């Protein structure tokens, strides 16, 4: 896969096979996040890999999934993530752009993962208070967002935007994700 194919192939995956992800791969994804662009190169981000089965089970109830799909949003038992990467911001490092940094770093994780055949869901809807407790995260670290990972057990395709941004699932369980058209978002030389 070349870089364009990887970018196009990456879709949010919310149903996963229950197959372990080698730790070396999870470490590799964090290593790719580590070298992402960073405002003033301050590098305020740190990461927790969670791949212990019991810990993974504890995290799932703290996460929110696919709000547009209602009760069909969250993965059922047997299709839940097998690992998480929790992205932390070290508040003692005075970064001017911590959220931009995490966006760039997390995209590196998502793209590296799909390159390795692993699906991801970037999750902002997370009970940070409980997660902090479970993972013993010190107060001087902000919990940014988390990435859920696993080998994909669903398909998801891009659709042309036609009035609604809401993704949907068809009768075969395939996800469809509308994206705004290039000609509607691109301006040349002036607005
Ligand atoms: C910052 C951020 C937070 C997100 N939080 C969640 C979340 O809490 N739960 C979820 O199911 N998806 C979450 N997503 C995934 C989006 O719903 C998904 O990217 C969007 O629907 C477009 O689908 P695509 O990733 O396949 O292009 C999040 C994405 C981003 C960028």
Enclosing H/E stretch for 9: helix 3-9
The CB of 173 under 6 Å from ligand 1? The reply is no
Residue 51, pLDDT score:
98
Distance from residue 179's CA to the centre of ligand 1 (Å):
13
Q: Convert the pLDDT of each residue in 149-161 to its tens digit.
A: 999 999 999 999 9
- 113: closest CA among 3, 2, 6? 6
Residue 19, pLDDT score:
98
Distance from residue 122's CA to the centre of ligand 1 (Å):
6
* Domain formed by 157-191, architecture: Single Sheet (2.20)
pTM score of the predicted model: 0.98
Residue 133, pLDDT score:
98
Return the CATH class of domain 3-154: alpha beta
Q: Per residue of the chain (191 residues), what is the pLDDT tens digit?
A: 999 999 999 999 999 999 999 999 999 999 999 999 999 999 999 999 999 999 999 999 999 999 999 999 999 999 999 999 999 999 999 999 999 999 999 999 999 999 999 999 999 999 999 999 999 999 999 999 999 999 999 999 999 999 999 999 999 999 999 999 999 999 999 99
- 121: closest CA among 167, 80, 169, 61? 80
All structural domains of the chain with their residue ranges: 3-154, 157-191
Distance from residue 12's CA to the centre of ligand 1 (Å):
7
Pocket test for ligand 1, best of 60, 121, 143 (most atoms within 8 A of CB): 121
Q: Which residues, in sequence order, are CB contacts of 119 under 8 Å at separation 6+?
A: 13, 16, 113, 149, 150, 151, 152, 153, 154
Q: How far apart are CA 175 and CA 178, in angstroms?
A: 10
Is 119 within 8 Å of 100 (Cβ atoms)?
Answer: no
46 DSSP β-pair partners: 88
Q: In a 3-state reduction of DSSP, which class is residue 66?
A: coil
Is 128 within 8 Å of 143 (Cβ atoms)?
Answer: yes
């Amino acid at each position: 896969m070349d870089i364009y194919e990887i970018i196009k192939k990456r879709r949010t995956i919310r149903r996963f096979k229950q197959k372990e992800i080698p730790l070396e791969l999870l470490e590799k994804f964090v290593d790719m996040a580590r070298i992402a662009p960073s405002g003033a190169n301050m590098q305020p981000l740190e990461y927790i890999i969670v791949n212990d089965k019991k810990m993974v089970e504890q995290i799932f109830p703290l996460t929110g999934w696919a709000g547009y799909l209602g009760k069909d949003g969250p993965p059922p038992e047997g299709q839940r993530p097998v690992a998480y990467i929790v992205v932390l911001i070290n508040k003692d490092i005075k970064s001017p752009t911590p959220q931009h940094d995490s966006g760039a770093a997390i995209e590196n994780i998502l793209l590296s993962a799909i390159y390795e055949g692993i699906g991801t869901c970037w999750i902002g809807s997370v009970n940070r208070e409980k997660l902090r407790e479970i993972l013993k995260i010190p107060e001087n670290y902000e919990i940014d967002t988390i990435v859920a990972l696993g080998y994909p057990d669903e398909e998801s395709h891009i659709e042309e935007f036609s009035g609604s941004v809401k993704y949907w699932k068809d009768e075969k369980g395939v996800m469809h994700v509308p994206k705004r058209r290039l000609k509607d978002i691109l301006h040349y030389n002036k607005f």
